[in-house]
Structure 1
Amino acid sequence: MCLLTLAACSGADGGSGSGPLAGQDWVTPGGDIGKSHYSTLTDIDTGNADRLGLAWEAALGTGRGLEATPVVIDGVMYTSGVAGRVYAFDAASGRELWRFEPEIDMQVNRTVCCDMVNRGVAVARGKVYVASLDGWMYALDAKSGAVVWKSDIVVDRARGDTSTGAPEIAGNVVVIGNAGAEYDVRGAVTAFDLDTGKRAWRFFVVPRDPALGPQDHPDLEPAVKTWDPQSRWDIGGGGAPWDAINYDPETGLVLVGTGNGGPYATSRRSPKGGDNLYLSSIVALDAKTGRLKWHYQETPGDNWDYTATAPMILTRMTVDGEERPVVLHAPKNGFLYVLDRRDGTLLRANPLVRVNWADGVDMKTGRPRLTPERADYTDGPKIIFPATPGARNWHPAAYDPKTGLYIGAVQDMGNVIFMTPGQKPVARKMLNTDAALLFTSDLLAILPTLPPPLRAAIEARPEMAWVKENPGSTELRAIDPLTGKTKWARRTAGWQDRGGALATAGGLVFQGSIDGHLRVFDSANGKLLKDIDTGTSILAAPMTYKVGGVQYVAVMAAWGGGGFPYVPPYSAAYSRGNAGRILVFRLDGGPVRIPEELPPLQPAPPPPAQAPGVTPQTIAQGMELFMANCALCHSNQPRSITPDLRRMSEGTHKAFRQIVLEGLLLPNGMPRWDDRLDPAQVDAIHAYLIDLQGKARAEELEKQKRGLPLDTPGLTILSNY
């Protein structure tokens, strides 16, 4: 078994500068140590890609998001699923070898903005490492799946910490970050001993209140000077490093991409301003000690939810005539950065999309040139480009060392941001964003429903011309990292369609889509070579490996992630459901089983009568409480992957209090709310939903009478929000 080291497993000829590239094995979720999502395999190439067919599939028994890229070592596939489940399969046949189900505290669902996802496992020393959603690191025996050790990732379980990222092996430790920057969290990255699970070190992204005395990490002493002493320390500050963590064996450094600030507005978080280190940064930590060696802040004072947690790629490039070890990084903020990974020197910073929070990056200072007149929303609503979902996000990109191209999904969209009135108390384990967002993809349709003062302020913004030109779109692009120029691009199904990418030495690029297709492109020009209809939405990055002389391509398939209840009409999940599975392909494989279409919608059932004493004020109170506590997971859309509460049955209505206050459906992932809501508030939410269900039923009966589909897009329900 090749489980002792990662860099030695690939057997590939090429290299990223941090170890060999992926070949027969795929040893990290990114393929190699540099996470290039590139394979040296050539059995499947531009001449035979049209012969791809299904080798095997595995149903994972979930309707939630799947974002991991599997690992394959010595013929065994290891991958993670919902909330930190782990599966091991024979990589050639698909025979399940074992599975692991962590015991999850389902109350964490209240602090998960973006579904119960997990982005992968790490494998080393005969163990498989995974982080569960509720913040535990598990080391599992690679042969049996038995728990070897379990260690706590979370600093303070009274706060909203969760964990959704893939662990990273860094020498003798395994490293993981936390998630939940919007949920009163103080970002931290923690390292555990590979063999014992003992905590080796912890680095906090955000300082603590200086009134409490010296910082709990020496490298936070200079950082605290970049915060107002009267900052909202009670909220935690954010900075959660929920994804990008790369170990660089060349330098012995762990490179960590850090999260956004909380609350969003710098003026509320740190009233006197400041860079607010180490938010929205790459921090380079010594793998042995956790001490900071260098940092580069991509968005100083982050005001726009511009996390730096998008995946990084470590490679070597010739820059200005000199070969350098570099890190390629395209975070949410719209720029593609090239940094020297030895010391963080900025080499390039090129915009990929429309950007108006800054008009470029000063290459001498490395700082963005901010444009507060266009992007400071403290004095009124502004239209900010790019939007908070980011020009790039967690969906992995690939780097092809043959062509020197960075290949990934790029989203060009903005959003309106405006402040909500009043200073807010900290909301434990709840959203603390203190700002409201409207995506430009929907803005033109929503504008007529907005209050006149807000509508007028938005319409007066010069960026409305950008919105009318392109409200929002996403492309798979092949980009020169040194210039930011696109060599070729392919438009995706919609702005939410941002699947991860795989590139191979066979001259191919693979990408799944949320309309349920796995597509294969010629890496030289983007020409479509093969289109496989799977009938299941795909967001995760494909990968490839070789067993028994056969090259396979595998991908995890399911809709989920950010905005998971809001299933786009152009997704396969909308028309065929969201039964998650692993799909594995080979040359001359068979057809893919396509899930059956969902049955036609029926009108919402009649709601019960309102309880005595319910007034319009009660319903209005219920709507406000619903939006503050429930709307993140319950979109009230008929094809949502969470229950459409406009379609509650008689039994659900009768048990409403028990469900919300007593945890009746806790095993199904519905947390209890008795610590935040009292019976009268729950009754008000129920009254609002009864009213909403009655309106939905009346609207749908009218559509049925007129022969219209019941899910015809409309703004009637939206206007109620």
Structure 2
Amino acid sequence: MSGVGGGIRFGVQRVSQAPLTLSLSKGAVAALAALALGAAPPMVGAGSEWTSPGGDAGKTHHSALTGINAKNVVALGLAWQAELGTARGMEATPVMVGGVLYTSGVAGRAYAFDAATGKQLWAFEPDVDMQLNRTACCDMVNRGVAVARGKVYVATLDGWLYALDAKTGAVVWKSDFIEDRKKGDNSTGAPEIAGDVVVIGMGGAEYDVRGYVTALDLETGKLRWRWHVVPKDPALGPQERPELEAALKTWDPKSRWDIGGGGAPWDAIVFDPETGYLLVGTGNGGPYATSKRSPAGGDNLYLGSLVALDPRTGRMVWHYQETPGDNWDFTSTQPLILTHLKVDGADRSVILHAPKNGFLYVIDRGTGKLLKANPLVRMNWAKGIDPATGRPILTPEESDYTAGPKIVFPATPGARNWHPASFDPATGLYYAAVLDLGNLIFMTPGQKPLKARGLNNDAALIFTTDVKDALGALPPPMADAVRALPAYAEALRDPGKAQIRAIEPLTGKTVWAADTAGWQDRAGVLTTASGLLIHGDVGGRLYVRDAKTGAVLKRIETGTPIMAAPMTYRVNGVQYVAVMAGWGGGGFPFVPRYSAAYDRGNLNRLLVFRLGGGKVKQPPLLPPLEVAPEPPAQAAGVTAETIARGQGLFFGNCAICHANRHRSITPDLRRMQPGTHEMFKQIVLEGALAPGGMPRWDDVLLPGDADAIHAYLIDQQVKTRADELAKQKAGKPLDGPSLTILSNY
């Protein structure tokens, strides 16, 4: 991953231009790229070292190691563990270089351990502006580090990229890569090395952002280039790049430029050493509905797309839009895998990509040409891909919710999401967590004013697992309209499920599937050349399966949820398997009953296994739930109207983090203690708990707003306490089921 002096510029320039100006064999181009850029070995899996979160240059999450195999995996046990002192989502896959294991944690913390012994070599905890936590829709997560030239690169939640000394963890440089700090931009992704630049994306498409990727100089952190996903308001002058002038023609001139358009490329950034291109998957539109974002319609380039950029200049080489005019939060930011396949009799260098929209795409890396596209799950937003144009064949009568509520398959969590997939060249199969789920989606009429650094998606979502129970909470005319939808019967018949699947990439056919505990139970995967598939689950188990059949060969109880993808490496002849453990990510306040976090809390850990290792010590069981404490009396002058206003403010600003459910990993505000009630205004308006992740809201909420929210929460606590006292008297459990309803408008 390190560069080779002045050859870096030459290599990037020549390789990236090769499809246009050079006449070299594919092997010669690959060799030139690998030599000039110091790239990882060919895309056949990682070796003893695991040099990026994806393992090898193709991010295949596949290992060539065979020391742990079907015959001896029964002896797999814990080698060492590290407790990280946090309790949020763990999504990173560690990196191992030179006998040192590097990883990242909450909000961009970074760690280095001796890969064999587990001795902590250093830990880095950045100062993070917790105001940006307000725009992190899906937890304070981080997906990993990059290691190159003796440095570890990590991005923080608030949009600073740090270069740390790999030996000491000392800061070599830090760079602010946020374009406009008055917007809702944040960062949760892993940096990517591309020649002599390090590239990082950003998040926040549900807020008020205009998505972009940023390239910084590896040695100095200085800005080298920035590429925007969507055009800027044409009233502000010419676009930054010619491709944005072309994109502008696909947007309504009266688009909601004030909101930004979305498109945030928060993941799926991969440098391809064979073509010399930087490949980027882009995010969803904001607001969600095309009719509100771009009223006259249009493809809205480059939302929901894959783009190839020249890493030397940021110039776009090609693009392929997977979801034109995105209307459903169908991001294309899900992980890319680069490999080689024989397609229609020809050897092709391809991208395997399964975005949220439900299709598995096979795309030529050099040209962006669509080679294959097949559905993985139920869908009613489209009935296929036109092979001549590469465009989806839309079904607006089933999925256009702008004129009324619709049940859309797949749901906004996506058929695939951030959980890394793997490609095993021996089996030729693509392995991944797949979600077959829909959601009811509707919005309120009319355009809404901009909410600066606030949710601007203007949509309400109710998953098909909850639709039947939720109808009673909807206005009768809307509930009747939902019952009349053709997809309603389908939602009742099969609400949805998640599975680990082995899939033929050229056909989309599932070879085998293993059900998980529920729709929130999804995890990244690892395959090895010894025929193993390894993954965790949110119930706190690590599974080792036969990659050909899915049969379970080993199961290890850890007591901590596992969502991240495992990795494997070898030190001194010993093979290890490492995985980050901790519940979080999208919907993080909604801890399901089948999650280990529900019973044992959410102790964030790095777990490392080897043959001959011991048992994992599980966290203790949480104490039984107690009846909600008695809240203070309502303040003088509080009325039903005050409480109703507080409810609206709560769901508009607070509910995305505070689910108010039993065993949530964020505080259940129906159970506040007297001291919390006394400090409510200081917490909400002055940031009294900012060090713990609770930002201040005085730039959005007035003192009277905080009082109204407090009145609503006191009312909720009164009702919760009365309900639980009745349950206690009747001998019933206190933690009854509750709905997963996301109301973001």
TM range (shorter): over 0.9
Q: Is the 8 A contact 1:18 1:248 kept in 2?
A: no
Match of 2:213 in 1: 189
Q: Is the 8 A contact 1:160 1:429 kept in 2?
A: yes
Select the residue among 474, 487, 496 that pairs with 2:520. 496
Match of 2:344 in 1: 320
Select the residue among 665, 680, 684 that pairs with 2:689. 665
Select the residue among 289, 299, 308 that pairs with 2:313. 289
- Map of 1:268-307 to 2, 5 A cutoff? 268-307=292-331
The verdict on how the C-alpha distance between 1:429 and 1:715 changes in structure 2, with shifts beyond 3 A counting, is closer
Match of 1:200 in 2: 224
Counterpart residue identity of residue 403, structure 1: T
Match of 1:242 in 2: 266
Task: Give the Cα separation in 1 of the matches to 2:565 and 2:674.
Answer: 42
Shift of 1:109: 1.0
Task: Give the Cα separation in 2 of the matches to 1:251 and 1:35.
Answer: 15
Shift of 1:447: 2.0
Counterpart residue identity of residue 241, structure 1: P
Match of 2:25 in 1: none
Question: Once the two structures are superposed, what CA deviation does each residue of 1:519-563 show, in whole Å capped at 9, x if it has no partner?
Answer: 010001000111101000010000000001100000000000001
Counterpart residue identity of residue 315, structure 1: T
Select the residue among 531, 555, 558 that pairs with 2:555. 531
Structure 1 range deviating more: 274-283 or 708-717: 708-717
Match of 1:118 in 2: 142
Shift of 1:213: 1.6
TM-score under structure 2 normalisation?
0.94
Match of 1:253 in 2: 277
Match of 1:105 in 2: 129
Shift of 1:17: 8.4
Match of 2:395 in 1: 371
Shift of 1:422: 2.6
Match of 1:574 in 2: 598
Match of 2:457 in 1: 433
- Map of 1:353-502 to 2, 5 A cutoff? 353-502=377-526
Question: Once the two structures are superposed, what CA deviation does each residue of 1:570-621 show, in whole Å capped at 9, x if it has no partner?
Answer: 1000110001000000111000011111000100000000111111111111
Match of 2:529 in 1: 505
Shift of 1:707: 1.0
Query: Secondary structure in 1 aligned to 2:466?
Result: helix
Question: Once the two structures are superposed, what CA deviation does each residue of 1:357-393 show, in whole Å capped at 9, x if it has no partner?
Answer: 0000001100000111111111100000000000000
Query: Secondary structure in 2 aligned to 1:697?
Result: helix
The verdict on how the C-alpha distance between 1:716 and 1:522 changes in structure 2, with shifts beyond 3 A counting, is closer
Q: Is the 8 A contact 1:18 1:315 kept in 2?
A: no
Which sections of structure 1, spanning at least 5 residues, go unmatched?
Answer: none
Query: Secondary structure in 2 aligned to 1:274?
Result: coil
Shift of 1:441: 1.4
Task: Give the Cα separation in 2 of the matches to 1:45 and 1:612.
Answer: 69
Task: Give the Cα separation in 2 of the matches to 1:469 and 1:391.
Answer: 19
Q: Is the 8 A contact 2:353 2:360 kept in 1?
A: yes
Shift of 1:212: 1.6
The verdict on how the C-alpha distance between 1:233 and 1:460 changes in structure 2, with shifts beyond 3 A counting, is same
Question: Once the two structures are superposed, what CA deviation does each residue of 1:136-164 show, in whole Å capped at 9, x if it has no partner?
Answer: 11111101111111111101000000000
- Map of 1:485-634 to 2, 5 A cutoff? 485-634=509-658
Q: Is the 8 A contact 1:511 1:541 kept in 2?
A: yes
Shift of 1:464: 1.5
Shift of 1:474: 0.3
Shift of 1:18: 4.8
Task: Give the Cα separation in 1 of the matches to 2:233 and 2:79.
Answer: 56
Task: Give the Cα separation in 1 of the matches to 2:739 and 2:638.
Answer: 26
Which sections of structure 2, spanning at least 5 residues, go unmatched?
Answer: 9-29
| 2:711 is the counterpart of 1:683 | no
Give the alignment's Cα RMSD to 1 decimal.
1.8
Using the aligned pairs only, state the percent identity: 68
Shift of 1:472: 1.5
Select the residue among 76, 79, 84 that pairs with 1:52. 76
Structure 1 range deviating more: 447-456 or 543-552: 447-456
The verdict on how the C-alpha distance between 1:42 and 1:151 changes in structure 2, with shifts beyond 3 A counting, is same
Query: Secondary structure in 1 aligned to 2:271?
Result: strand
TM-score under structure 1 normalisation?
0.97
Shift of 1:165: 0.3
Q: Is the 8 A contact 1:625 1:685 kept in 2?
A: yes
Shift of 1:448: 2.7
- Map of 1:699-714 to 2, 5 A cutoff? 699-714=723-738
Q: Is the 8 A contact 1:80 1:86 kept in 2?
A: yes
Task: Give the Cα separation in 2 of the matches to 1:208 and 1:184.
Answer: 13
Shift of 1:217: 2.1
Task: Give the Cα separation in 1 of the matches to 2:449 and 2:716.
Answer: 30
Question: Once the two structures are superposed, what CA deviation does each residue of 1:281-340 show, in whole Å capped at 9, x if it has no partner?
Answer: 001000111000000000000000000000000001111111110000000000000000
Task: Give the Cα separation in 1 of the matches to 2:597 and 2:605.
Answer: 13
Match of 2:194 in 1: 170
Match of 1:644 in 2: 668
